Structure 1
Amino acid sequence: MATLFRGGTLFDGEQYAGVAQVLVADGRIAAVSTGDAAEQPLDAPAGTRVVDLEGGLLAPGFVDAHVHVVQGGLERVRCDLSGLDGREAYLAAVREYAAAHPDLPWIQGGGWAMAAFPGGTPTAADLDAVVPDRPVALPNRDHHGLWVNSRALALAGIDRHTPDPPDGRIERDAAGEPTGTLHEGAMQLVSRLLPATTDAEADAALAAGQSYLHSVGVVGWQDAIVGEYVGMDDPGPAYLRAARAGTLAGHVVGALWWDRDRGLEQLPGLRERRAEYTHGRFRATSVKVMQDGVAENGTAALTEPYLDRCGHPTANAGHSFLDPVRLGEAVRALAADGFQVHVHGIGDRGVREALDAFAGLDAAGRALRHHIAHLQLIHPDDVARFAVLGVAANIQALWACLDEQMVDLTLPFLGPERATWQYPFGDLHRAGARLVAGSDWPVSTPDPLAAVHTAVTRTAYGEAGPAGTEPFLPAQALDLETAFAAYTSGSAWINGRDDAGRVRPGAVADLVVLDRDPFAGPAEQIGATRVRSTWIDGALVHEA
C-alpha cells in the first residue's frame, strides 16, 4: 500500500524544507513536493493511505550510532534504577525488587547515577541493609562502575589484600577495606560470577529494547559492544536469531568487541564472528575498541594529570587501555581486513591516541568510515584532525550540560582551561568534521529529541538548576539542521546505508512523524517534541 504524508513540514536529512508532501510506495520514497508545489495534491495511486501530519514535522527516522540495546532491554526487565533519582529511591527499588523475586540467586539491573553519592561511590553497607542474604551487582549508568554488596565481595574473594587490576580500581576506606564500588577492570572480579543470560532473556530484552527505540523514533542503530564485557553476555546470538526470524525490524550494525587483554591473534575469531553473525538486517562489520575510561572516576586518559579538590595536580592521568603502539597495530590490521573501527575516546589523550592510530591508515583504510565516540575532551590541536583524517565524530550530545555529574565530579578535577575543551561540537562542525550521533543507552535516554535539544541549547530539557537553565559552553552549540542531520543522514552514513537517512525519491522510507515542528518554535521547546509515529520501509512500527 502507498502512503501519502501531508499537512505538515519536512526535514529531508540535510535541511529544513518547510511545507511538504511525501509519497511512499513499495517501501521507498516515491515523490516529494515542497514549497508552492506542496499546495497541490501529489499524484497518488488509488487506495493510498493518507497520513495527516497535523502541522507536525516529517523527518528521516533517527539512527543511533552508539547504543547497547540488549543491555538496555535487560535493565528494563531487571532492577531498573535509570528512571529514579537519589540514594533513598535506589535503595527502595532494590529492596522492592529483591522481595518480588525471592528465587533469584543474584540481584541484577543497574542505572544509578554517580552524582547521587558522595564522591560518586555508593557503599556495600547500603545494599546490605536492603539485601543481606544474596549478592547484588548493579552497574552505574555509564557501565564503568559496579555497586556491589558484601555478599558479592565475599563470593569474589575481594578484601583489603586484593590488589587493584592494572585497568581498574577497587574503592576502599582509610583502612584499605573495599567499600562496595568497583571501577573499570575491577568490575570483572565480580561480573565473572554472574549467572549467564538465557537465550529467552536475551531475546525478550532485544524485543523490549527495539520497541523502546521505535517509540522515540529510532529506526536503526549500531550496537557498540557485541561480545562479552564485564558481566554483559554477547548479544550477537540474539541479533542473529532475530534477523533469521524476521523480527529485527531495523537495520543494525554490530561492533564486535576488541579484547584489550589480547592482541592481533584475535583477528581470525573476529572474521569468523563477522561471517557467522551477519545475516539479513544485522551486519557485524565494525569492531569496538575502548581506549580509555570516564572522567568521573579518573580513568579517562588525559594529556595532563587530574587535579585534586584543592586544584593541585595529582599523579593520575587516567588509563590508556591499549598501548598506543598496539592500538595503531590493531587499527591497521582491522582496516586491512575491511572492518570499520569504532573507538571509545573520552579524555583528550584517549582521543589523540585514536586519531594517531587512524593517521597510520592509507586512503583505502580511511574509506571504511571509522569513528570515535563520546569525545568529552578534545585538545584544541586535535579538533581539525577529524576532517583531515576522515574520522567521524560520534557525539552523545545529551551529556553536554551542567548536570550534577559535570558540576560535582568533573569540573573540579579538570581545572578551568580543560573544562572549556569539553564536547566541542561547534568547533568540530566548523572544522569540517562529519558528525554522527548516538545515545549510549542505557547510559542515558535513547530519546534523540532530548539529545538534539541539548546539542542546540547546551541545556537539558526539563531539568531544574544549572543543567536546565545555564547553557554549558554555548559557543559549542549546533544549529538545529546540523543536529538533526547528525542523528539522521550522518548516522545512516556511519552504518553504511547511503539509501537511508534522507527523504528523497528512491531512498528507503524509514521515517518519523513528530507532533510539532521544532524548526518553527523556540529552541527552548525542542525537547518538548514527541514522536507520533515511526515507519520502517514504509510500514508503521510505532504509533503513539
Structure 2
Amino acid sequence: MTSSANAITYTNAKVFTGSGPEDFVSAFTIEDGVFTWTGESEDVTATDAVDLGGATVLPGLLDVHTHPIFMATLADSMTLLQPEVTSLESMLDALRRHPDLGAGPQAWVMGFGYNEAKYPDGAPDRHALDRVSTEQPVFARRADGHTAVCNTFALDLAGITRDTPDPAGGRIVRDASGEPTGVLEETSAVDLVYRVKPAPDSAEIARRLAGLSEHFLEFGLVAVDDLYGNFVDEPLAVTRAAVDQGYRPQSSVFLVWGHDALPALTDADRTGQARVGGSQGVPGRGLQQPHRLGRMRLPRLRGPRDHHDHRRGVAQRRGLGAGERRADGRARHGRPRDQPPDRPLRRRGAVARGPPLDPVRPLDPVHPRHDARVIEARMRFGVISHSVFFYAEYDSYETSLGEEQFAIAYPLRTMYENLPDVAIASDSPATAWADCDNPFISVMAAVCRRAYNGADINQAEAISVGQALELYTGRAARITGNRGVGLVAPGYEGNFVVLDRDVFTIEESTIDQTRVMRTYLRGELAFSR
C-alpha cells in the first residue's frame, strides 16, 4: 500500500491490535491522528515509511478504574506502599523524609498507603506518629483510603478528645481507657481531622493533575476512567483545567451522588477529551480493614482481609444519558450494602438492554452462577477485575477466604471465557503496592497467578499474555467512557506504545519489568524514555 502526503506508515513491528489475544499485524498507517490501515510490512510501498526495527507495539492502554484526582490530592504525601514500606519503622522513616518536617505547626507531614496487616512490629497509632513529630500535624491514610492515623498534635488540632462522639458511619478508635488512639475508620471519621488541613484549591489540584500526565504516559496509559471524581468540587472543571495545562490522556470522570438527584448534564459535559463518563451510585467499600468484617453477613469469611467488599456488586453507572436511566426517568442506584451479590442481577432484569456501560466492580469471589446472570440480564454489564489486588494483598486473602472462596477469587479465565465485556484495571492509588497502575504488574499477576511472595493465587484462573493485554485494550474499550481507543484498527485514534522487549515471549515472571519506550497519542510522540 502507499500513503498520502499527510500520512505516516510504520513497518517492521510486532503489532498487537487488541482485537483478540493472537491478533497481530506488522505495519499500520496513521493519517490526521487516526489509524487508516493495518496490514503486513511486505505490502508497504511508501518510501518514507518508519521502520520500527522489529519492536513490539501495543495499542494505547486503558485503565478503566483509577482515581487521577485522588492521586493529585495525594501529591504532598509520602508514599508508604509496599514494597518500599514493609514495617512500622520503615513507615515512620518515610514520614521523617517528608520535606515539610520541621517547617512549623502550620505544615502537615502527610503519607499514603500504609498497611499495618503486614507490619511485624505493630500497627501505627498516635504514639508512634508522635515519634515523627510532636510539634506539627502528622497524618497518614491507609492503602484502602478508608482509614487514617494521626499524631496527638493533629488530634488536638481537630479538637478530638475522649468525649468526641463517633460521626455517623465512622469510628474514632479508642484504647482500653477510652482515649483516642489516633486511628480513624471510614471517611466521616477521617474527615474530622483531614478537614482541618488547609485544602489546595481547584487550581492547585488541576496543576497537580496536569503533572500526572507523564506518569500515565510512561505506563502507556492513553485513557483513564476516574471512578470517584468527587474528591474535589466540580471535578469535570478541574480535569478540563488540567487539560488546558497539558494533561494528555482521555479522562472520563464519574460522579458520586449517593441517593440524591444527579446534576443536569449537557451534551458538552459528556464529550471531549475530559468528560463525565457516568456516576458511582455506591461509593467503593474497601475491606482492607478488620473492622469491616463485623458488618458483613458472609459466614464464608473467617478473618480480616485486604480489599474490596464482597457485598458490593453494581457500583458505578456510566453514560448518564436518557438511555442510562430507568424507564420512569429516575437514575439507577447501587444495591443496599447488605444485599447478597446476585440480587442486583435479578432486580435489573426489567431494565431495557443498553450499551455495556454498567460495570460491576470486583465481586472478589465470583460464583459461576453470576456469569450466567450477567449474560442473561436484559441490561449489559461490564465487569472490571483487579489482578493486582490478589498479587499485592495475598496475605489477608489467604487468611480470610475459605478454600472454596479462594478458588473463585478474581476468576479471570472464567470471566474472559464467559463474559464479553470485561477488563483489568488498577484502582490506583487504593491498592497496597507502589506504582500499582503499571499495567505490566497486573498483566504478570494475571498470567502467572502468583502473589508478590511467590504464593499460588489459583493457577487454574491464569490467562495468556494476549488475553490479559486484550483486557487492557480492546475488551476494556467496550466498557470505558472514552471513545475511539483501545485498538490498532482503522477509524480508531492513532494511539500506540513501543515496548523495550517482546512481552509475548519473555519469561512470564519478568513481565512486570517491561518498560514503555515511547507512547504516541493521535500519531504524535507524547512520551519517550
TM-score normalized by the length of structure 1: 0.82
Q: Deviations over 1:415-438 (max 9, x none)?
A: 333333321222222322521222
Distance 1:400 1:100 in 2: 38
Q: C-alpha displacement at 1:10, in angstroms?
A: 1.5
Letter in 2 for 1:529: T
Q: C-alpha displacement at 1:343, in angstroms?
A: 6.6
Distance 2:54 2:362 in 1: 34
Indicate if the aligned counterparts of 2:277 and 2:482 stay in contact, CA closer than 8 A. Answer: no
Q: C-alpha displacement at 1:25, in angstroms?
A: 1.8
Q: Which runs of 5+ in 1 are unaligned?
A: 312-316, 461-466
Indicate if the aligned counterparts of 2:220 and 2:497 stay in contact, CA closer than 8 A. Answer: yes
Q: Classify 1:341/1:226 alpha carbon distance in 2 versus 1 (closer, same or farther; 3 Å).
A: farther
Indicate if the aligned counterparts of 1:112 and 1:139 stay in contact, CA closer than 8 A. Answer: yes
3-state secondary structure, aligned to 1:130: coil
Q: Give 2:437's aligned residue.
A: 446
Q: C-alpha displacement at 1:542, in angstroms?
A: 0.5
Superposition map of 1:332-411 within 5 A: 335-336=325-326, 351-352=341-342, 354-356=344-346, 358-363=348-353, 366-367=354-355, 369-389=357-377, 390-401=380-391, 403=392, 405-407=393-395, 409-411=396-398
Root-mean-square deviation (Å): 3.6
Letter in 2 for 1:66: H
Q: Give 1:213's aligned residue.
A: 216
Q: C-alpha displacement at 1:505, in angstroms?
A: 1.9
Indicate if the aligned counterparts of 2:95 and 2:110 stay in contact, CA closer than 8 A. Answer: no
Q: Give 1:88's aligned residue.
A: 89
Q: C-alpha displacement at 1:318, in angstroms?
A: 7.5
Letter in 1 for 2:171: R
Letter in 2 for 1:512: V
Q: C-alpha displacement at 1:278, in angstroms?
A: 4.7
Distance 1:295 1:120 in 2: 19
Distance 1:439 1:251 in 2: 17
Distance 1:21 1:494 in 2: 27
Letter in 1 for 2:471: A
Distance 1:331 1:361 in 2: 15
State the percentage of identical aligned residues: 26
Q: Deviations over 1:141-161 (max 9, x none)?
A: 221211211222233343344
Q: C-alpha displacement at 1:102, in angstroms?
A: 4.0
3-state secondary structure, aligned to 1:222: strand
Letter in 2 for 1:93: A
Superposition map of 1:244-393 within 5 A: 245=244, 247-259=246-258, 263-264=259-260, 266-267=261-262, 270-272=263-265, 277-278=269-270, 280-290=272-282, 293-298=285-290, 299=292, 302-305=296-299, 335-336=325-326, 351-352=341-342, 354-356=344-346, 358-363=348-353, 366-367=354-355, 369-389=357-377, 390-393=380-383
Q: Which runs of 5+ in 2 are unaligned?
A: 1-5
Q: Deviations over 1:152-200 (max 9, x none)?
A: 2233343344444453333333333322222223223223323222234
Q: C-alpha displacement at 1:291, in angstroms?
A: 5.4
Q: Deviations over 1:475-534 (max 9, x none)?
A: 122222221111112222222455321112222111111112221233223222211111
Distance 1:339 1:297 in 2: 34
Indicate if the aligned counterparts of 2:35 and 2:490 stay in contact, CA closer than 8 A. Answer: yes
Q: Give 1:463's aligned residue.
A: none
3-state secondary structure, aligned to 2:278: strand
Indicate if the aligned counterparts of 1:371 and 1:393 stay in contact, CA closer than 8 A. Answer: yes
Matched, 1:159 2:164: no
Matched, 1:68 2:61: no
Structure with the bigger percentage of helix: 1
Q: Classify 1:497/1:93 alpha carbon distance in 2 versus 1 (closer, same or farther; 3 Å).
A: closer
Matched, 1:456 2:459: no
Q: Give 2:181's aligned residue.
A: 179
Q: Deviations over 1:72-127 (max 9, x none)?
A: 23434433333631322221221231326447433334122333436984211111
Q: C-alpha displacement at 1:450, in angstroms?
A: 0.9
Q: Give 1:30's aligned residue.
A: 36
Q: C-alpha displacement at 1:275, in angstroms?
A: 6.5
Indicate if the aligned counterparts of 1:287 and 1:339 stay in contact, CA closer than 8 A. Answer: no
Distance 1:349 1:108 in 2: 36
Q: Give 1:147's aligned residue.
A: 149
Q: C-alpha displacement at 1:70, in angstroms?
A: 2.6
Q: Deviations over 1:375-430 (max 9, x none)?
A: 323344323323333211111221123x4x432x3433333333333212222223
3-state secondary structure, aligned to 2:473: helix
Q: Classify 1:127/1:355 alpha carbon distance in 2 versus 1 (closer, same or farther; 3 Å).
A: farther
Equivalenced residue count is: 504
Letter in 2 for 1:43: T
Indicate if the aligned counterparts of 2:256 and 2:283 stay in contact, CA closer than 8 A. Answer: no
Letter in 2 for 1:12: T
Distance 2:338 2:441 in 1: 26
Q: Classify 1:19/1:147 alpha carbon distance in 2 versus 1 (closer, same or farther; 3 Å).
A: same
Indicate if the aligned counterparts of 2:222 and 2:249 stay in contact, CA closer than 8 A. Answer: yes
3-state secondary structure, aligned to 2:54: coil
Q: Give 1:464's aligned residue.
A: none
Q: Give 1:196's aligned residue.
A: 199
Of the structure 1 ranges 249-258 and 151-160, higher mean CA displacement relative to structure 2 is found in 151-160
Q: Give 1:423's aligned residue.
A: 410
Superposition map of 1:120-139 within 5 A: 121-139=123-141
Indicate if the aligned counterparts of 2:226 and 2:253 stay in contact, CA closer than 8 A. Answer: yes
3-state secondary structure, aligned to 2:161: coil
